[in-house]
Amino acid sequence: MHTLSNPQIRAQEILARCRKLAAYSEDACGTRRTFLSPPMRDCHREIAKWLKAAGAELTVDAAGNLRAFYAASQSAAPRLLLGSHIDTVPNAGAYDGVLGVLIAVALLEALETRRLPFAIEVVAFSEEEGVRFGKPFLGSRALVGKLDESLLDSRDANGISVRAAIENFGLNPSEIPRAVLGDDTLAYLEFHIEQGPVLESLGLPLGVVEAIVGQTRMEFVFAGRANHAGTTPMHLRHDAIAAAAEWIVAVERTARNLPGLVATVGQIEAKPGAVNVIAAEARLSLDLRHASDTIRKESAAGLARLAGDIAAARGLSLQHCVLLNQNAVAMDPFLAAQIEEAIRNSDCKPHRIVSGAGHDAMTLAEKIPVAMIFLRSPGGISHDPAESVELDDVAKALQCGLHLLDQLAASREFLMGREARKNA
């Protein structure tokens, strides 16, 4: 059993590293780091330096994921994945995603060249948030063979495709199939800030993620007719923004009346966008989440019908499409139980929690067992510069991680893999 020396000092170093990486940004004021933007190369350089010092071998796959291999005690051993993402939303905090990568780095450092019966691969995913191309999980999709031609042809606001962004970063899109996980991969574990208030409300530093809610992302376009704002009577208008506003309020009302459902219209674009012109078009996003896929899908269908009714009543047309339909994902029961034990061994009380946010674990669950450990988020704040994490909680997360590695190393059940466990 490995004991963590100076957990507070190591936790301080992790937080300092998070803040250092936050300075690598596309914006002069605030943190914004999107898929394969120049600041990502700076992050790769810094993280690679720490990983090499810990004894790992570094590569960058064709999807831009930084991958570090820490060998096992024996050759040809299976591997355990640890990691998270290093891209951010605009005006981001310093810890979402990045903290999970740097905890993984610190776990390798804490092993102090000690080798386990499985190898460890640390992955810093190039894209999870979906900011640049409107398509999330580009990094983790590559690992499960789902970064396909249609995704590679997606374009950002400047008309640059995913394929071109990969080439501009000095990578070869034709090598993306080589990023797919091999059959020797045992599981994926991810540390992440909760991004919500539950753990803080319970006074607990760590939580065991039980499931990740399903997500639907849609785009709606209300199309009316532009006209002069001063000369067109109210009863003769076909105002796309007015229709959109009516529908937005209905979206909020629907979610408030259905327990567990969260619905967000986070983007709206009006055309022509002049102060004295009635809007001819309103383009909106819809983000819908629920732990039940049935409820989520029924709600999405209901809100689409409602949008159509509102458009028809106002003499407008409506178009809508689904951008993402991600089913809810349950965490691996064996791994979740092991995390509970590791949290107890770290002198903390474990708590099962459902994640309302999406994570790379959702994508990887298509191919391998996955599990997540949440760290308390002070104030429940995330995706904002005020995002924070407690020093003591990071120290506890490191202790939990080392206990977990030791437990898994001693577990014949884990080492024989998920399919063998099912058939045992």
Pairing of strands 206-212, 352-355: parallel
pLDDT in tens, 391-403: 999 999 999 999 9
pLDDT in tens, 323-373: 888 899 999 999 999 999 999 999 999 999 999 898 999 999 999 999 999
Does the structure show a pLDDT above 60 at 1?
no
Is residue 122 very low, low, confident or very high in pLDDT (cuts 50, 70, 90)? very high
pLDDT for res 326? 84
414, 186 contact by CB (below 8 A): yes
Is residue 5 very low, low, confident or very high in pLDDT (cuts 50, 70, 90)? confident
pLDDT for res 423? 61
The C-alpha atoms of residue 62 and residue 60 are separated, in whole angstroms, by: 7
CB atoms closer than 10 angstroms to residue 5: 9
Task: Please give the structure tokens belonging to residue 225.
Answer: 């007719």
387, 193 contact by CB (below 8 A): yes
Q: Output DSSP code: residue 191.
A: E
- pTM for the predicted model, two decimal places: 0.85
CA 255 to chain centre: 23
Contacts of 398 (CB under 8 A, 6+ apart): 4, 7, 10, 11, 14, 103, 106, 107, 110
30, 385 contact by CB (below 8 A): yes
pLDDT for res 160? 97
Domains of the chain: 7-212+328-423 (3.40.630.10), 214-326 (3.30.70.360)
pLDDT in tens, 38-95: 999 999 999 999 999 999 999 999 999 999 999 999 998 999 999 999 999 999 999 9
Q: Output DSSP code: residue 79.
A: E
Q: Output DSSP code: residue 31.
A: B
Does the structure show a pLDDT above 90 at 418?
no
pLDDT for res 54? 97
pLDDT in tens, 203-262: 999 999 999 999 999 999 999 999 999 999 999 999 999 999 999 999 999 999 999 899
The C-alpha atoms of residue 407 and residue 420 are separated, in whole angstroms, by: 18
Is residue 8 very low, low, confident or very high in pLDDT (cuts 50, 70, 90)? very high
The C-alpha atoms of residue 222 and residue 244 are separated, in whole angstroms, by: 7
Contacts of 316 (CB under 8 A, 6+ apart): 222, 223, 224, 238, 240, 243, 310
Percent of the chain with pLDDT over 90: 93
pLDDT in tens, 200-217: 999 999 999 999 999 999
pLDDT for res 84? 98
Is residue 417 very low, low, confident or very high in pLDDT (cuts 50, 70, 90)? confident
pLDDT in tens, 252-311: 999 999 998 999 999 999 999 999 999 999 999 999 999 899 999 999 999 999 999 999
Task: Please give the structure tokens belonging to residue 218.
Answer: 């849609």
